[in-house]
Amino acid sequence: MKKTILFGMITAMGLASCSEKDGLIQGMSGDAIVFTSSVASRVTDTRFERDDVIGVSMYAGNSFASGAENVQYATSNGSDFTSQSPITWDQAGDEATVRFMGVYPYRNGAVQNGIYSISLSTEEGVALSENDVMYASTENVARDQNNISLPFVHKLVKVVMQVCDEKGAGLSGATLKINKQQTSGSLNLTDGTVQAEGTESTLEFAANSNIPGEYQTIVMPSGATPERVITITYNGVDYPCPVDAYVFESGKKIIFSATIDKSRPVSTNPVQVSANVKDWTSEKIEAGWIFGEGETFEVLGKKACSLAENVQLSATPQPIGNFEGKLDVKDVYSLEYARTAADADASISVSGTNYILPAGKMRGTLLIPVGEKNVTGFSVSSKNEGITLTKVMVYTNNIVGLPITLWTGDGTSGNGIASDEGFPAAGYRPIVARIPLSEEQLNLFVPGAVLRCYFDNNTDVNAAELLWMGTLQLFYQWTNVGKFDENTHCLTNVVTLSMLDEIRENNNVMILEKTWNDNLEFCLNRIELKPVISSEIENFSNLLWCHYAEGGEDCHMDHGDINIGIPASLKSGDKIRITYSGATEGAYLEGVAGDVNNENSPRIFEQKTINSDATTVDIQIDDTMCSSLLELRSTERDGGIIPLTISGQGLSVHKIQLVRGTEE
């Protein structure tokens, strides 16, 4: 919404009477510039109020005119703005044209070098308009112009929530708050851009006295923010409305609505979610959340995990989820839907419970409490045609084996496609991607988790074998490392201790490269991580290899070998523990540097006889073996690093781990 201020230099021979001239207006050159105002809209009123104050700056040439930056102008009648120290044309020097900028609200000392400091008030009783930062700019103002239009625009974001009962009547007496909000920032007067800064806080909403049940607040612009929630408290009950997916764009008014339906049982009422982003001029309220009476679920502080996209509904139930772990009964499923027609009510059935999609809503979101029967997933169907679940998520803090996206490439050099820049420690292979991992991602990137690398549709099994992580080749077709699906073009690897060491060696950045060859056509699209869930029994601590965890099979040593990368943290006194099964008389294992068929390849450890009555064997690492193994990390072989190859006969290997020091 624009707030227009008309301000002009009015001469004694111009538009005002003599009495007005004496009080407000001075002559052309060297005299005060006076601002008169007509206001289209304010935060709560239709005009400027008495004692409102703006700051006006004059930009002459390539800088702000001396003494003409953030000059205070006030109004006594809501229309005319004057100043005790007004801007004059003399301050423009020899410039034929100037630029004027305005900012509201005026704060003394808030502008330094053209930057207006923003600090949102969180104190109780402060007028909402005090946080309504507005900005105006008019360029090429000639000295001989009398009437100059300076249009003000809102620079922050107004968030509105309309709270209604089941009959559509506004509910007064509620309190609302929104978390994950920065309350400070800056406005650049030269280009009008806003930058949010500072720590996150919770902001309260103010009731709109003109519209029953409407509550509003002003926040800094921001992108979609995980765990952002508007919480409505009514009659002592909290109703959390997740707004993590919405972008808060500068100058916009985002209108949400929630219906607290007290007439139906809690367990059968969904939450309808929708948002309508309008210019600040809009007062339109769209349908939104629908709550049953009482606290039915919790979303505050939980993470949104993606489950599915673009699910076409039919009368046949489709399973979604099928988790390996379990959700909490108060976790929340989010079903974003789209309809081809909405002239009548429709319904979606979730595990046998029907939820109504109201007529007139082409899009929306159902928020459904997990409850007792949907803790491992749910089924969904609809007898109505033309309904698509565009996105399905769950709000939870449980680790249930859901994959999380670590990175999405954009197909540019070094961000999905091999670039010329090499990674020296890995034989100068071209970089495919550099992926910084957050602390939260690192906490999930543990041995036993599963890494999935998705390539474009042109990538075949031979191309997948070219991918490396640091000094580790991620796929060997014939040595039981990695598993490639030619239908989905996905390479699956179990996370190992060696991978973790590669990331730590590079300051928590996952660096992916490609084997250097004549063909650089190689595109990586997305990387997912499937965390280890707490319900899994198998111990994967300090894992070095496990093809079974990648979706493959145990390695029968009569028919194959195993290549493993050497962890950078390897120390003398550690042990390599090999878990096996089906050992026969005469079974053995040996460790070779590289190709076992090359008699010149060094033996890291000689053939070790395997006990057919046991299930594990330990290889003790002394100083000599430790030095030999670590030397493999820096020894190039055809542009790559030599792996430790485990070969043998008469047994099947299930997994290989590193046991630290004297640990058992």
- Whether the per-residue pLDDT at 442 is higher than 60: the answer is yes
d(CA 401, CA 110): 50
Question: How far is 275 from 256, CA to CA, in rounded Å?
Answer: 5
HEC string for 461-496: HHHHCCEEECCEECCECCCCECEEECCCCEEEEECC
- Average pLDDT of the chain is 81
Q: Please write the tens of the pLDDT for every residue from 609-651.
A: 999 999 999 999 999 999 999 988 876 655 557 889 999 999 9
360 compared with 506, residue with greater pLDDT: 506
Model pLDDT, residue 26: 30
Name the 3-class secondary structure at 254.
strand
338: CB partners within 8 A, 6+ apart: 362, 363, 387, 388, 390
> Residue 44 has what pLDDT?
42
User: Which CATH entry fits the domain spanning 548-659: 2.60.40, 2.60.120, 3.90.1530, 3.40.1010?
Assistant: 2.60.120
Among 212-216, 320-324, 344-348, 560-564, the least confident range: 320-324
pLDDT of residue 198: 86
Q: With bands split at pLDDT 50, 70 and 90, how would you rate the model's confidence at 518? A: low
Candidate CATH numbers 3.20.20.70, 3.40.109.10, 2.60.40.2620, 2.30.110.10; the one for domain 2-154: 2.60.40.2620
Residue with tokens 């406005």: 187
User: Which pLDDT does position 491 carry in this prediction?
Assistant: 96
Distance in angstroms (rounded) separating the CA atoms of residues 386 and 384: 7
Local confidence band at 663 (pLDDT 50, 70, 90 cut-offs):
low
Preceding amide of 105 cis, omega within 30: yes
Stated as kind and residue range, the H or E segment containing 501 is helix 497-505
Token readout for 439 is: 């602390």
Q: Are 578 and 654 in contact (CB under 8 A)?
A: no
Place of tokens 């540019």: 412
- Indicate whether 3 pLDDT > 70: no
DSSP 88: B
* 217-229 pLDDT per residue, tens: 999 999 888 888 9
303-396 fold:
Jelly Rolls (2.60.120)
Contact 187, 105 (CB under 8 A): no
Q: Which residue has the higher pLDDT, 271 or 280?
A: 280
| pLDDT bracket for residue 316 (50, 70, 90) | very high
Domain limits, CATH 2.60.120, in the chain: 303-396, 548-659
CATH 3.30.465.10 describes domain 157-292? no
pLDDT for 72-106, tens place per residue? 988 777 666 678 888 888 888 889 999 988 898 99
Confidence of residue 1 (pLDDT cuts 50, 70, 90): very low
Say which residues have a Cβ less than 8 Å from residue 303's Cβ, sequence separation at least 6.
226, 227, 395, 396, 397
Residue whose structure tokens are 């919404």: 1
- For 180, the 3-state DSSP assignment is strand
Q: Where in the chain is the domain with CATH 2.60.40.2630?
A: 157-292
- For 622, other C-beta atoms within 10 Å of its C-beta total 11
Which parts of 218-307 fold into alpha helices (H)?
none
pLDDT of residue 271: 36
Average pLDDT over residues 206-233: 90
**In the chain, ranges of CATH 2.60.40.2620 domains:** 2-154
Compute, in degrees rounded to 10, the torsion defined by CA atoms 294, 298, 300, 301: 160
Using one digit for the tens of pLDDT, what is the confidence trace for 520-576? 577 999 999 998 876 556 899 999 999 999 999 999 999 999 999 999 999 999 999
pLDDT category at 147 given cuts 50, 70, 90 is: low
Query: Is 4 or 166 the better-scoring residue by pLDDT?
Result: 166
Reply yes or no on whether the pLDDT at 20 is more than 90.
no
Per-residue confidence band for 379, with pLDDT thresholds at 50, 70 and 90: very high
Report which of residues 519 and 286 the model is more confident about. 519
Q: What's the average model confidence in pLDDT over 391-396?
A: 86
